[in-house]
Amino acid sequence: MNPRPPTPDPRPRGESRKWVGQSMRRREDPRFLSGTARYVDDVKLSGMLHAAILRSPHAHARIVAVNAAAAAALPGVHAVLTGQDVRRLSSPTKPIIPIPIEPQNYCLAVDRVRFVGEPVAAVAAVDRATAEDALDRIDVTYELLEPVVDPEAALRPDAPLLYPDLGHNVVWHDTFAYGDVGGAFAAADLVLSERFTIHRYSSTPLETFGAVAHEDPGTGTITIWSNDGRPGLTSGTVAAALGVSQAQLHLIALDVGGGFGNKRRAAYLILAALLARRARRPVKFLEDRREHLMALMQAANGVMDVEAAVRRDGTVLALRVRDVVDEGNNQVNPTLHSLLKLGNIVNAYGIKAVGFEGTCVLTTKCPSGANRGIGKPFMCFAIERLMDRLAERLGTDPIAIRRKNLIPPEAFPYETPTGALYDSGDFGKTLDAALALAGYEDLCRQRDAARREGRCLGVGMALAVEPGTSNLSSYILTTGRRLTSGAGEAAMVRVEPDGRVRVATGNVGSGQSYETVIPQVVADELGVSPEAVTAAPGFDSFSHPWMFASGNYSNKFSGMDIGAIVGAARKVREKVLAIAGHVLEAPRESLELADGKVMVREDPRRSLTLAQVAEVAYKNLIALPGGSEPGLEARHYYLSPVATIPDAQRRIRAQLIFTNSAHVALVEVDPETGMVAIRKYVVVHDCGTELNPMVVEGLVHGSTVHGIGGTLLEEFVYNEQGQILTTSFMDYLKPTSLDVPDIDIGHLETPSPFTALGAKGVGEGGSIPAPACLASAVEDALRHLGVRVNDLPLTPRRVWELIQGARAVAPGPA
């Protein structure tokens, strides 16, 4: 493993970083280890009922009638709701993107169902089993409609329509041109043209989505405990649907068993609240695994047709991309995948011109949604495969072709043609380090030797930018209106009267170790030890600061949350220094914060503990400096300084902070079974300042394994009737401890100039290049059979089919 280079510290000279950068073990672990953590399903309220949802068995149908009388009559049932009910009892929700017509979306289907698993009716009963018994007594009459499952079929003029008023299934279509695309293609010595496809998969957090809703009959406050990871957005959606103000809606998140972007479903919160209102008792809804796999969300499948204009020396002059995203019945946030592909399309390369035609199409499948990487695993797959193909076409090696095109280190901060501003990085160094750590030449020799023995070994690699922090301004491109913009987070730092420090933010942790890392950061700012700082677990809309951007997505923590936390901590720090300076009668410049005390640097005996400062701030108010506000608390609402809006040329900073990585893999493919075994897997990544290296490494492991599982094992499968065939973990295969290779990790640290501590995102990380890396390796392993990998997944069946397909074209000894 390469030694870590020293990290430049943007803090004032003389004050060093003591805790940031330490691999401290986690503060939150004891409760998880002892079984005393509290997840949403652990919430128990007096009189609480349990909800069950009746879901459509059809991919596409009109709802003719729903008769729930027998369900309501079942003993133990306290509330039943149908689509007609919720239409009367709630306001419709709107998607982020104005789909050309305004569909009226409610938490239950009203006139039509558009995917298998869509909620049609709901029951609240004394227990889940009784609620499910009641579902059996609800009679729904459907009139079947033609499903449409394939995105390109959904684009045809004769396709079945999900929204007949729309006249087609296209929820968004737009073209973008940056730089002289036409000129580049005209001047090209070579044009490469490839088609790539990706399947549906998702991170499937082990804890499913849930909500417990309670309406207080006295105050009218609606409290909802849920593991929804996007409270900044969900609060407004839920309040509007229920007809209450956000001041009346109390959203609480406790411990969350994994999120990965998947846990967002305002409709379930609305439904639980409507049932609670109807029953006048608290109601809990928790998805079971089948419901989760069928109906929560899936990462979008799609097609990317990519053309590259290339000069004969290997320089890629321009890209033309035609991108089709299959959104399923996504009524919440279509265009998410498209925007993030567009925003990051040149990957690590200095490609000067880009044409992008993006289409988002609806099909009668589960709604697409945010999943680790959102669109970028596909984007990276397409661009990296293109690079491999280009190398082959030009007769050069895949490493050389990439070096030729890498953005050089002196070019940072680097603006890509589409408007992304890459903050910092040294892609060549990352690549070198990965090749060295992997022993790339040696892997190639192993592969060649194995091939001589008749074994199919392959060496593959991929480079990736791993962007973090989504800029809400991106939606200006798709909506044509500025409703949301910018990126940030909110945080509060409070020194309690006894001198301990408390931090709360608008984010919702789901395993990223915030309760450990936040104290490290604040400890450095306030000169205390991390043990003296407590980061509030979970989220509470009534006591945590938050704004629309608040929540868990796009690796924003290292930039946005840290910006807010450092901002708040520095405000508190200034206040501490002002109070101490006044009490100690010393000028501010002479003071230092360390070891839980404020002291005069030249005479440390003149000091106050943080508790003593707090005593003045909270109790001994007349001792405060003149004009000073009592209290020792600050909030900081942070806005990223680099979050701009699209310019007149439609350039957009879709994401703001850029980690980069290189993955190298050695695989062995069994041609008889199609199984891919990973013999070696190496990651070198650069996420800027590592706030806690142990946590970073854990996230690299986890995100890389998501990419491995998504490539080699996982696939949501639908038949032509739109029936989903993968609704349990027996059909949808997750990687186990037997499937994961050892992952050797090298770390580089090129701090970001745009974040408070130079840290960049690391949560999505490995999920982005892993599919490309494995595809590269599998193709290498089967190259001699004539196999080409342009499509994912690479499950055993798919690999076997590729081999059979290649053999059919070129029969003969392998």
Residues that bind other proteins (CB under 8 A): 25-26, 28-39, 41-42, 44, 129, 203-208, 255-260, 288-289, 510-513, 694-695, 697-699, 701-706, 728-730, 734-738, 740, 742-743
Which residue's CB is nearer to other proteins, number 472 or number 770? 770
Q: Residue 105, SS3?
A: strand
The DSSP secondary structure of 75-88, one letter per residue, reads TTEEEEEEHHHHHH
Question: How far apart are CB 293 and other proteins at their closest, in Å?
Answer: 9
- Give kind and range of the element (H or E) at residue 388: helix 376-394
Which residue's CB is nearer to other proteins, number 16 or number 737? 737
Strand pairing class (119-125; 49-55): antiparallel
How many CB atoms within 10 Å of residue 565?
A: 31
Strand partners, 464: 661
250 Cβ neighbours under 8 A, 6+ residues apart = 221, 222, 223, 224, 540, 541, 542
Which residue's CB is nearer to other proteins, number 129 or number 483? 129
Which residue's CB is nearer to other proteins, number 511 or number 527? 511
What distance in Å separates the CA atoms of residue 157 and residue 174, rounded to the nearest whole number?
A: 18
What distance in Å separates the CA atoms of residue 416 and residue 653, rounded to the nearest whole number?
A: 9
Which residue's CB is nearer to other proteins, number 735 or number 753? 735
Question: How far apart are CB 100 and other proteins at their closest, in Å?
Answer: 37
Question: How far apart are CB 252 and other proteins at their closest, in Å?
Answer: 17
What distance in Å separates the CA atoms of residue 67 and residue 83, rounded to the nearest whole number?
A: 11
Which residue's CB is nearer to other proteins, number 148 or number 687? 687
Question: How far apart are CB 201 and other proteins at their closest, in Å?
Answer: 12
Residue type, 274: L
What distance in Å separates the CA atoms of residue 299 and residue 202, rounded to the nearest whole number?
A: 6
Q: What is the CA radius of gyration of the chain?
A: 27
What distance in Å separates the CA atoms of residue 490 and residue 636, rounded to the nearest whole number?
A: 6
Helices (H), 653-788: 693-712, 770-782
Which residue's CB is nearer to other proteins, number 60 or number 230? 230
Long-range CB contacts for residues 31-38, cutoff 8 Å, separation at least 24:
31/255, 32/255, 37/255, 38/254, 38/255
What distance in Å separates the CA atoms of residue 67 and residue 738, rounded to the nearest whole number?
A: 49
Helices (H), 552-622: 562-584, 610-618
How many CB atoms within 10 Å of residue 808?
A: 9
Question: How far apart are CB 29 and other proteins at their closest, in Å?
Answer: 5
Which residue's CB is nearer to other proteins, number 307 or number 697? 697
DSSP state of 575: H
Is the Cα torsion angle 716, 717, 720, 722 positive or negative in sign? negative
Which tokens is 252 given? 């609480």
What distance in Å separates the CA atoms of residue 568 and residue 377, rounded to the nearest whole number?
A: 35
Give the helix, strand, coil percentages of the chain, each rounded to 5.
30, 25, 45
What distance in Å separates the CA atoms of residue 708 and residue 443, rounded to the nearest whole number?
A: 19
Question: How far apart are CB 302 and other proteins at their closest, in Å?
Answer: 24
Which residue's CB is nearer to other proteins, number 547 or number 694? 694
Which residue's CB is nearer to other proteins, number 202 or number 223? 202
Question: How far apart are CB 372 and other proteins at their closest, in Å?
Answer: 10
Q: Residue 235, SS3?
A: helix
Which residue's CB is nearer to other proteins, number 441 or number 742? 742
Which residue's CB is nearer to other proteins, number 130 or number 471? 130
Which residue's CB is nearer to other proteins, number 288 or number 720? 288
What distance in Å separates the CA atoms of residue 384 and residue 546, rounded to the nearest whole number?
A: 38
Question: How far apart are CB 584 and other proteins at their closest, in Å?
Answer: 41
Question: How far apart are CB 589 and other proteins at their closest, in Å?
Answer: 41
Which residue's CB is nearer to other proteins, number 622 or number 738? 738
What distance in Å separates the CA atoms of residue 373 and residue 351, rounded to the nearest whole number?
A: 22
Strand pairing class (77-82; 316-326): unpaired
Question: How far apart are CB 441 and other proteins at their closest, in Å?
Answer: 26
Q: Residue 720, SS3?
A: coil
